[in-house]
Amino acid sequence: MKMKTKKAAAKRFRFTATGKVKFHKAGRRHLLSKKSNVKMLAGRHGEYMSDGDAKHVRKCMPYGSL
């Protein structure tokens, strides 16, 4: 039987060609006026998830990391 992908995870995470899990950092949606430019520039790029957390994402997205 086919496993279903958790759609909430599919919208938030992407897999790289090497199998790492990429995601965007939080904190860039609102209350931007009080945040420093350094914080805003740092939040621009995605991050790679740690191995322990990535294991959970791979369970949620069984066909994404092939």
Per-residue model confidence (pLDDT) at position 4? 94
pLDDT one-digit tens code per residue, 47-58: 999 999 999 999
> What is the per-residue DSSP string for 26-61?
S--SS--TTS-HHHHHHTSSEEEPPHHHHHHHHHH-
pTM, entire model? 0.80
pLDDT one-digit tens code per residue, 15-26: 999 999 999 988
CB 16 within 8 A of CB 23: no
- Domain boundaries, given as residue ranges, for the chain: 1-22+34-66
Which CATH architecture group holds 1-22+34-66? Irregular (4.10)
